[in-house]
Amino acid sequence: MLLTRLLNACHRFPGFVYEGARLDEATKTIEVQVRPRRGSKPCCSGCGQCASSYDQLPERRFEFIPMWGFAVLLLYRMRRVRCEACGVKVEQVPWAMGKHTLTRAYMLYLAHWARKLSWQETARSFHTSWEKVCQAVEYVVQWGLEHRQLGPIRAIGVDEIQYGRGHTYLTLVYQIESGCVRLLWVGKERTIESFEKFFTMIGKELAEKIEFVCSDMWKPYLKLIAKYCTHALNILDRFHVVAKMNLALDDVRAAEARRMVQDGYEPVLKKSRWCLLKRPENLTDNQRVKLRDVLRYNLASVRAYLLKEAFQDFWVYDSPTWAGKFLDQWTTQVMRSRIEPMKKFARTIRTHRELLLNYFRARKAFSSGVIEGLNNKAKVTMRKAYGFRTFGMIEIALYHALGKLPEPKLAHDFY
Ligand SMILES: [Zn+2]
């Protein structure tokens, strides 16, 4: 039998033998009978010790990796053991765990593809259900979390990401040093209590050895970072600073555009949003024309735009002293601008002056690009995941995509 030989070559377990396979063309299923090798003793699922056989349960079906469009099922009657330590227990079989109907090999297989495709696409490709893909990923992620090595951690980035409808946020903590970039932790909500759990997870010793923390200006984050990462330089992340300024600029533009329509002016700001928010080098030809047109007007949006563009020079400095001087001049200029959202941003910048200058003290060691890149990947993961309704699902999907978790090993590579 070719199939049993194949199975023996890739999925062989000492105490068990494959005994013939049967193809059911109507249901497109291959059923493979498995039985214990003569003389082999079952092992207790409670403690792993071998024990004497007590009785045998009705046949169970385990799903193995499908092949050529046929589902492959392993059929086996589990034995019960009489264990000295645990009493009467079901035996433990090496190809599956607990009540799972999927074999370990198949779970690893599905989880592998679920990282490349969406869960939905994975389910469709292998003629299985979304729930089973989910089970598979859950198993692999849990195993990975239990077996991963957390330390040492030199640099972390803290970020938040919106999920679901409305203003629900997750807190994400990444490790961002060169050589190790991964998602370390996912927190429900964006609160002190939830962020504190991250520090509980890594423990005092690891937290104190962290050298750099990149974060945004959100006060509870800053407080906890100061409390736990006692030896770290807290750096305000460039990505978050730019994002905040863009919000201010967008407020100015939106309010002004509304006012112009109300007062019956020509709607010159219409469709100008991305022209003003994007860096000039990223504009499309049409947006470039539009921007040139808008810039001819004496508008608060235009002045705010020019201030935003001027701020780009800040990031080019090498010395914290000169960067600081630039910052003071720029904020002074903004405070005179009479553009309220920009002034508010400038005040925030002033309050966090030292943390901003830490960016230069860290010699730009951690480019904002790292956090921004991870943030984008996290967003893609969430977008691909139309089925993720609960926090638990999202957490698993994010760890699976970004956690770089270790995976359980099989004797044979199926993918
Ligand atoms: Zn036992």
Cα-to-centroid distance, 59 and ligand 1 (Å): 22
pLDDT (0 to 100) of residue 387: 60
Q: Give the chain's end-to-end CA distance (angstroms, integer).
A: 23
Q: How far is CA 90 from CA 75, 86, 381, 390, in A?
A: 16, 10, 39, 33
pLDDT at 217: 80
* Distance between Cα 45 and ligand 1 center (Å): 6
Cα of 91 vs centre of ligand 1, distance in Å, is: 9
Residue-level pLDDT at 137: 95
> What amino acid is encoded at 13 in this protein?
F
- Rounded to the nearest angstrom, the distance between the alpha carbon of 15 and the centre of ligand 1 is 18
The percent helix, strand, coil of the chain (3-state, each to 5) is 50, 20, 30
The kind and range of the H/E element at 34 are: strand 29-36
Q: Say how many Å lie between the CA of residue 312 and the centre of ligand 1.
A: 66
Complete edge-to-edge strand list for the sheet that includes strand 233-236: 180-188, 168-177, 155-163, 212-215, 233-236
Ranges of the chain with pLDDT below 50: none
Residue 88 CA to ligand 1 centre (angstroms): 8
Would you state the structure tokens that stand for residue 89, as one six-digit string? 């227990």
In the prediction, which pLDDT does 109 show? 95
Distance of CA 49 from the midpoint of ligand 1 (Å) = 6
d(CA 154, CA 329): 34
Distance (Å) from CA 264 to ligand 1 centroid:
83
**Cα torsion 255, 259, 262, 268: sign:** negative
Distance 57 CA to ligand 1 centre (A): 18
- Pairing status of strand 29-36 against strand 16-24: antiparallel
Which pLDDT does position 281 carry in this prediction? 87
Query: pTM higher than 0.75 for the full model?
Result: yes
- The pLDDT score that the predictor gives to residue 364 is 66
d(CA 219, ligand 1 centre) in Å: 52
* Phi, psi dihedrals of residue 310, rounded to the nearest 5°: -65, -30
Residue 367 has what pLDDT?
64
Give the separation between CA 174 and CA 85, rounded to whole angstroms: 43
Other Cβ atoms less than 10 A from the Cβ of 162: the count is: 13
